[in-house]
Structure 1
Amino acid sequence: MSVQFASREHRAQLPRHLLARWVRAALRRGPDSRRARQAPQGPQELQGPACITLRFVAADEGRRLNREFRRRDYATNVLTFAYQSWPPMADIVLCDSVVAEEAAAQGKTLASHYAHLVVHGVLHALGWDHLREAQALRMEQAEREILAGLGIGDPYAQGGGRGDA
């Protein structure tokens, strides 16, 4: 795991060991078994190297990346650039100002919202998606279970929406 702070806004609240814990928890969940073709099925310990980069950015970079790669002209909370789902290789970009605004609006701690979005981004890297309702329900349930294992409550219970990743 690589961590990049292009924006240092929340660096003090996001120690590497905590970020690694969130990433490992999501990786243990494994790929979405209904979409993966060459990946092991079900919860597991990762066999082989995962290559995940977490990049924390300000709104201008988040907006530029969202505009260039998704044709949406606004900064979003999390973007996942998945290059390979198993073993996972991805860049996950989190926009600090959007995450902070959402956490405040949803009555969540900054750490719990970041944990949710890191888990969400890693699941995307593993091939999970939420384009269709059935996929969204599976992914949301996986997120709830992973976060519960980390001692974090249901991210959707307080009005938390689906990420844009």
Structure 2
Amino acid sequence: MDLVETVIEEARWEGFGLPALAERAARAALAGLGLEASGFAIVVMGCDDARIAVLNADFRGKPQPTNVLSWPSEERGSDFAGEAPALPEPGPEDDPESLGDIAIAWETCACEAAEQGKTMEDHVTHLLVHGVLHLLGYDHVEDQDAALMEALEVRILASLGVSDPY
């Protein structure tokens, strides 16, 4: 059973292979935290800059495109800066626990990858791992939380053969 349900709103994501990449990145993120993918579900939407700008305005009050947005199904963050959030309990395989939704924008990702001299695949993999960690309660508002989240991203990405993005 797939961990990730992928919704394609921008056709370039289909040709890019977003469904397989999202599945791989999400499985690696969960495995990096010792979680079994079979008990969880995530929805990833591949969209364009126009769509993500509307979502960013609606949910964050920022009416401009961004690379990735995440909507956790519930608040999972720790109350203490630098402390890892409690891990969610998996659901049964036939009714997995929803972790939430992620949206990723084609044009912003392509532009950032080019500017940073990264392959689109590596950059999107990083953003998807980042998004999954947000669904699990990690954030980067406080310096201690950012350090924790970034170290986890680097370790998970290394398991996928992706270089340190920082």
Report TM bin, short chain: 0.7 to 0.9
Residue 47 of structure 1 and its aligned partner are, at CA, apart by 7.1
| Equivalent pair of 1:54/1:91 in contact (CA under 8 Å) | yes
Q: Percent identity?
A: 36
| 3-state SS of 1:9 partner | helix
Aligned mates of 2:108, 2:18 — CA distance in 1: 19
Asked if 1:94 corresponds to 2:84, the answer is no
Q: Deviations over 1:43-89 (max 9, x none)?
A: x1327621201101111110000001000110100000001352452
Runs of 4 or more, structure 1, over 6 Å off, are: none
Normalised by the length of structure 1, the TM-score is 0.81
Asked if 1:45 corresponds to 2:35, the answer is yes
Gaps of 5+ in 1: 31-43, 157-165
**C-alpha RMSD over aligned residues:** 1.5
Structure (1 or 2) with the greater helix fraction: 2
Residue 28 of structure 1 and its aligned partner are, at CA, apart by 1.7
| Equivalent pair of 1:130/1:139 in contact (CA under 8 Å) | yes
Gaps of 5+ in 2: 77-87, 91-97
- State the match for 1:7 in structure 2: 10
Q: 2:29 aligns with which of 19, 26, 30?
A: 26
Cα–Cα, structure 1 residues 72 and 25, in superposed 2: closer, same or farther, change >3 Å?
same
Aligned mates of 1:48, 1:116 — CA distance in 2: 22
- State the match for 1:130 in structure 2: 140
Asked if 1:152 corresponds to 2:162, the answer is yes
Cα–Cα, structure 1 residues 47 and 23, in superposed 2: closer, same or farther, change >3 Å?
closer
Asked if 1:57 corresponds to 2:47, the answer is yes
Cα–Cα, structure 1 residues 15 and 7, in superposed 2: closer, same or farther, change >3 Å?
closer
Q: How many residues align?
A: 143
| Equivalent pair of 1:79/1:93 in contact (CA under 8 Å) | yes
| Equivalent pair of 1:80/1:121 in contact (CA under 8 Å) | yes
Q: 2:152 aligns with which of 120, 142, 162?
A: 142
Aligned mates of 2:105, 2:37 — CA distance in 1: 30
State how 1:82-121 maps to structure 2 within 5 Å.
82-84=72-74, 85=76, 86=88, 87=90, 88-121=98-131
| Equivalent pair of 2:48/2:107 in contact (CA under 8 Å) | yes
Aligned mates of 2:64, 2:37 — CA distance in 1: 37
